[in-house]
Amino acid sequence: MRLKGKVAIVVGAGQRRGMTMGNGRATAILFAREGALVFAIDRYLDSAEETVGLIKKDGGEARAFAADVTDETALQAAVFACRDLWKRIDVLHNNVGVSIAGATRRSLKSQRRPSIA
């Protein structure tokens, strides 16, 4: 178990509807199978909770948290919540991103698109 006892945040740990498993959910599950305590962050809490349920069903430990990557305050809250829970962060896996042509950090705050994870 290469990640035994490590605390891993997986951003984008939820799953969109579909027949296959997405990279974020797959990463969260694999990290848990390797012994990590997984803090599963997704824009949709119910989706992150589904991932946590799969991890727990497999014998792992995980918690879900809702945060949108375009909201810096929400991401800070997620990091603080993880540190409050497990006292540290060893692995940070960002499985999401945003790309808007011509966007700046300031303009991103005003462009809350539902399609951005």
Average pLDDT, the chain: 88
pLDDT score, position 107: 56
Confidence of residue 117 (pLDDT cuts 50, 70, 90): very low
Place of tokens 């305050």: 73
pLDDT score, position 96: 87
8 Å CB contact between 6 and 36? yes
Share of the chain above pLDDT 90, in %: 71
* pLDDT tens per residue, range 51-106: 999 999 999 999 999 999 889 999 999 999 999 999 999 999 999 877 666 666 56
Confidence of residue 21 (pLDDT cuts 50, 70, 90): confident
SS3 string of the chain? CCCCCCEEEEECCCCCCCCCCCHHHHHHHHHHHCCCEEEEEECCHHHHHHHHHHHHHCCCEEEEEECCCCCHHHHHHHHHHHHHHHCCCCEEEECCCCCCCCCCHHHHHHCCCCCCC
pLDDT score, position 110: 58
- pLDDT(27) > 80: yes
